[in-house]
Amino acid sequence: MDHGYVHVYTGDGKGKTTAAVGLSVRAAGAGLRVFFGQFMKNGDTGELEALHLLGDRITVEQFGTGSELSAIDPAADARAARAGLDRARAVLFDGRCDVMVLDEANVADSLDYFEPGALLELVRERPENVELVLTGRGAGEEVLAAADLVTEMRAVKHYFNDGVVARRGIEF
Ligand code: ATP
Ligand code: MG
């Protein structure tokens, strides 16, 4: 790509991670190399299995220790997140992908899992030919300001509020 842009999918409505998965599938279909990193998550998610089916056009790695929004050991989760951001930075600056998704990076950032300013620095200093997508509720103001595209998913209704917890294949 000649020029990549920075996307942020945030807000409390459903669709942030699935939008990033959809974009990744589209990019892979068009022959772009995708790196899909998931913070806060560890274990089989439908998207992990599905993206693996796309072969070497997509690399998926998880940088979490528990399920999102409910880390069992926050200190371990923070360490895993920092290591994940280091890994993402290495992939990014080695030119090994055209599209990089950092799923739930906004959540990890809002929990202060990363070094202060580290996510913002990655956004600002990324190679300009990489499309970078950050997902997760609670995106920071400076990250929002640095992005080229911000979509806020707004929960007009969400069945979570009726007690429907995450379901395999639909939410993970
Ligand atoms: P999807 O992966 O379906 O695209 P998303 O990425 O937009 O959704 P997240 O913010 O990552 O959604 O939400 C993760 C999980 O949080 C959801 O699976 C849902 O079960 C749960 N959830 C939804 N609303 C709330 C809420 N108000 N408080 C806490 N957890 C919620
Ligand atoms: Mg999500």
Per-residue pLDDT, 145: 98
Within-domain flag for 170 = no
Q: Determine the Cα–Cα distance for residues 106 and 9; give it in Å rounded to an integer.
A: 9
Ligand 1, atom nearest to 153 Cα: 7
Within-domain flag for 26 = yes
Within-domain flag for 50 = yes
Per-residue pLDDT, 44: 85
The set of protein residues with a Cβ atom below 6 angstroms from ligand 1 is 12, 14-18, 68-69, 137, 153, 158, 160, 165-166, 171
Per-block mean pLDDT, blocks of 10 residues, the chain (172 long): 96 98 98 96 90 95 75 86 98 96 98 97 97 98 98 98 96 95
Q: Determine the Cα–Cα distance for residues 30 and 3; give it in Å rounded to an integer.
A: 16
Q: What is the identity of the amino acid at 171?
A: E
Structural domain total, the chain: 1
Q: Determine the Cα–Cα distance for residues 67 and 69; give it in Å rounded to an integer.
A: 7
Per-residue pLDDT, 69: 54
Give the domain range for residue 65.
6-147+157-162
Within-domain flag for 143 = yes
The chain-wide mean pLDDT, for the chain, equals 95
Locate 141 and state its tokens. Answer: 């103001």
CATH value at residue 44:
3.40.50.300
Ligand 1, atom nearest to 68 Cα: 14
Backbone angles phi, psi at 145, to 5 degrees: -65, -35
Within-domain flag for 152 = no
Pick from 69, 107, 109 the residue to mutate for probing ligand 1's pocket: most ligand atoms within 8 Å of its CB: 69
If you ran DSSP here, which 8-state letter would residue 58 be given? E
Within-domain flag for 171 = no
- For the entire predicted model, the pTM comes to 0.95
Q: Determine the Cα–Cα distance for residues 19 and 137; give it in Å rounded to an integer.
A: 13
**How far lies 49's CA from each of 13, 21, 55, 168, in Å?**
24, 12, 11, 12
Tell how far the Cα of 115 is from the centroid of ligand 1, in angstroms. 25
Per-residue pLDDT, 70: 57
Q: What is the identity of the amino acid at 169?
A: G
User: What are the tens digits of pLDDT across the range 37-59?
Assistant: 999 988 889 999 999 999 999 99
Locate 99 and state its tokens. Answer: 């599209």
Locate 79 and state its tokens. Answer: 């360490």
Ligand 1, atom nearest to 166 Cα: 20
